[in-house]
Amino acid sequence: MGKRGMSHGLFLLCLLVLCMRSPILCPAFGMAGKDSFSKDLPKRWPQIVLSDPKKLERIASHLRQRPSYGESTWSLFARLLRRVVTTLYPDAQIKLEGSNRDGTALHGISDFDVWIDTKVALAREDRRQLFDKLLNEGGYGCCIKPRHDGIGRKAMKFQIQESEDDDPINVDVVCVNMDHDIGLDEHDFPSFTRSPSRKKARLRATEHVRSCPKSAAAVLMMKAFTLDGKRSLIPGYFLNHFARRICEHTAHTSSTLFYTMVQHFLSLCELQETADWSAYPVPEWHGSRFQRMILLRTRQSGFQVVPQADVIDSEILLDLWKDCVDYDWAHPGATRSARLRNVFRRASRALRESLTAVMDNDQNFIREHESLKRCPENLWSK
């Protein structure tokens, strides 16, 4: 087994679980140094956003708005898609899924995800036929182009545009019933999602976000504040389950839920940058007080043995760690944990910049930001 892949997975959870603990266990595990951004956040974040339960919802409503041409372009493509698909497969079910269905989509950032479920399993050639037919079908006033390589492992990727003056819209069309594995059932986070299968995990996340407006608003804000240009960094799947798990244990408004997600995420990333970590479970203690210990190595104090019961106030992030460790054990030399760690680092940088701009009322930054600029200036005022 690759030691690097194992260490990344274990490293991730120990950072995650420690960031949930306050007060700090020991100086070596501090949330960061004296200049900690998350430590200063409670003093500077506009308190009106937290005290006014409707303020964040108003901000979220601006973030999720689509221009009229966006609705028109999508409607044209949806009619074309239904016509082409039902011509080839009359009994097919066509459903809009993903963030545009959940209410957590950012215009110009989030893709439209369409799922096609056919009674017969499609071969690769069948999917290629459907892809070509969609590109060559005319008469609907909508320009359709392939995106990237056109057909990925899971989705057929399109870019649609009604007018050259409009921003293009990205669409991913997924044929659910294929005669070969396309990865829709890969279930890498069973503990974090608390679900026995990927299908159940998707269902739990979408049911929660669609039935819980406060979670949808908080997830939308996290997406907006962690944008890298026109790219969304943190996967919506992760954010949906993160919000769901937090809401299961504590009552939150959308504002306090967003704030809680921000604080935990920043603490995680600050720990990641201020300490060299490697961690792994050590043999169980069968005493009355502790059942399992974690061995941590820090730059300042060498190895420290820490009881899990002392570092975990919530099982949410521990579950994520377990999944990362299990994945690395099952896939020697895997890079999934390392990639997730790098994504979190970039998202943390974007989050800090966006938060600072809002707290300082930096209108130059806000007017250049792909999502924050959609909100009236007075919504960000203190």
pLDDT score recorded for residue 321: 66
96 plus 10 within the same structural domain: no
Q: Sort strands 302-307 and 293-298 into parallel, antiparallel or unpaired.
A: antiparallel
Asked whether the beta carbons of 59 and 48 are under 8 A apart, the reply is no
pLDDT score recorded for residue 329: 74
| Residue 200 placed within a domain | no
38 plus 75 within the same structural domain: no
| Residue 280 placed within a domain | yes
Helices (H) and strands (E) in the chain — how many of each? Answer: 16, 10
154 plus 128 within the same structural domain: yes
Please report the DSSP string for 108-163 in residue order. Answer: TTSPEEEEEE-SSPBPHHHHHHHHHHHHH--SSS-EEEEEEEEE-SSEEEEEEESS
Question: pLDDT at residue 38 above 70?
Answer: no
pLDDT score recorded for residue 190: 93
**143, 159, 175 — which closes off a domain?**
175
| Residue 14 placed within a domain | yes
Both structure tokens of 104: 């957590």
Question: pLDDT at residue 131 above 80?
Answer: yes
pLDDT score recorded for residue 51: 66
In this prediction, residues 124-149 reach a mean pLDDT of 87
82 plus 124 within the same structural domain: yes
Comparing 145 with 68, the larger pLDDT belongs to 145
| Residue 330 placed within a domain | yes
262 plus 373 within the same structural domain: yes
**175, 199, 218 — which closes off a domain?**
175
Q: What angle do CA 205, 259, 109 make, to 5 degrees?
A: 55
Question: pLDDT at residue 345 above 50?
Answer: yes
| Residue 244 placed within a domain | no
Both structure tokens of 2: 């690759």
**307-324: pLDDT as tens digits:** 443 333 446 766 776 777
Question: pLDDT at residue 56 above 80?
Answer: yes
| Residue 167 placed within a domain | yes
272 plus 343 within the same structural domain: yes
Residue 368 is inside which H or E element, if any?
A: helix 363-368
Q: Tell me the C-alpha distance between 242 and 226, whole Å.
A: 15
In this prediction, residues 147-154 reach a mean pLDDT of 89
**175, 203, 230 — which closes off a domain?**
175
The Cβ of residue 122 has, within 10 Å, a number of other Cβ atoms equal to 21
Asked whether the beta carbons of 313 and 20 are under 8 A apart, the reply is yes
Length of the chain: 382
102 plus 123 within the same structural domain: yes
79 plus 142 within the same structural domain: yes
In this prediction, residues 39-54 reach a mean pLDDT of 69
List the CATH number of the domain containing 141.
3.30.460.10
Q: What is the mean pLDDT of the chain?
A: 77
Question: Which pTM does this prediction carry?
Answer: 0.80
In this prediction, residues 72-82 reach a mean pLDDT of 91
**287-312: pLDDT as tens digits:** 333 334 444 444 444 444 444 433 33
In this prediction, residues 131-135 reach a mean pLDDT of 93
In this prediction, residues 111-138 reach a mean pLDDT of 93
**155-175: pLDDT as tens digits:** 999 999 888 888 889 999 999
| Residue 154 placed within a domain | yes
pLDDT score recorded for residue 211: 94
Domain holding 13, by residue range, is 3-64+252-379
